[in-house]
Amino acid sequence: MKKYCVDIKPTAEADLVKRYHEIGEDSPQNALNWYLNIIDAIEKLDELAERCPLAPEDLEIGQGIRHLIIGDYRVLYYIVGEVVEVLHIRHRAMDRKL
């Protein structure tokens, strides 16, 4: 099985921090649980990264951007060689633009 290195880009880190703080305003425990769940799912992209479909955002740019769906959230990423580059974490209700 092919192994990938997962690289969370600063844009995705900013998305994580912003949402963590938003959730944490109501419940610090829910924010922590959400964060750990998202990170766990992202880390699993080190194997089977190609299992996720192309994201709707990729229709316009054709760069192979995929999305991993985790509950109400989508992790947008693409594969470059042996590296999974995580671009954004988005709520399903957010606009589908990069």
Predicted local distance difference test score (pLDDT) of residue 93? 73
Q: For the chain, what is the domain count?
A: 1
pTM (two decimals): 0.90
Binning the chain into helix, strand and coil, the percentages to the nearest 5 are 45, 30, 25
pLDDT of residue 41 exceeding 80? yes
- Residue 79 belongs to a domain with what CATH number? 3.30.2310.20
Predicted local distance difference test score (pLDDT) of residue 95? 58
Query: pLDDT band at residue 80, thresholds of 50, 70 and 90?
Result: very high
For residues 1 and 47, the answer to whether their CB atoms sit within 8 Å is yes
What are the pLDDT digits (tens) for 11-28?
A: 999 999 999 999 999 999
What are the pLDDT digits (tens) for 50-79?
A: 999 999 989 888 899 999 999 999 999 999
Range of the domain at 52: 5-91
